[in-house]
Amino acid sequence: MSEHAVSIDVREIMRCLPHRYPFLLVDRVTELEANVRIKALKNVTINEPFFAGHFEQYPVMPGVLIIEALAQAAGILAIKSGGERKENELYFFVGIDNARFKRQVVPGDQLVFEVTQLTVKRGIGKYAARALVDGQVACEAEIMCARREV
């Protein structure tokens, strides 16, 4: 087990992120090293609302939702690195570069998100992110998140 192993459950995740069903896409955090990296999970089930239309006969998780889940994991890393999220503060997904999709994600898969902080300047963080299934890269991208008062 990693020296940075943690167990952050969905209730704690919901204290960090404002997202709720059906848009909360991170189920658990298993590793966290503040200002460095996070490892988190999403269990993909046939009950996900997007599978009804994407696609009925061949259910595939939309790539944009995998990217969103990576951004949520990056947001958790940013929030946990800075303490706690203030009541009037949100972290917005503001940029993506070099996104690539390597394999389909289907019901029954477990997505493992690995996000590493690259830089943080003036409240904007840049992260190297990848989503894996069974050790195979499903998606990788560079993601930017910005902390803003609302």
pLDDT digits (tens, 9 = 90+) for 17-32: 999 999 999 999 999 9
Find the domain containing 61 and state its range: 10-149
Question: Active-site residue 54, yes or no?
Answer: yes
Extract the runs of DSSP E, i.e. beta strands, from 4-73. 5-8, 28-33, 37-43
The pTM assigned to this predicted structure is 0.96
Q: In what order do the strands lie in the sheet with 5-8?
A: 5-8, 28-33, 37-43, 110-121, 124-133, 136-149, 89-101
Residue 23 lies in a domain: yes
CB 128 within 8 A of CB 142: yes
Q: pLDDT tens digits, residue range 95-118?
A: 999 999 999 999 999 999 999 999
Residues 147, 108: Cα–Cα separation, whole Å: 34
Domains held by the chain: number: 1
- The answer to whether the CB of 36 falls within 8 A of the CB of 76 is no
In a domain, 27, yes or no: yes
Has residue 42 been placed in a domain? yes
Task: Assign residue 44 the CATH number of its domain.
Answer: 3.10.129.10
Residue of 37, 54, 103, 126 marked active site:
54
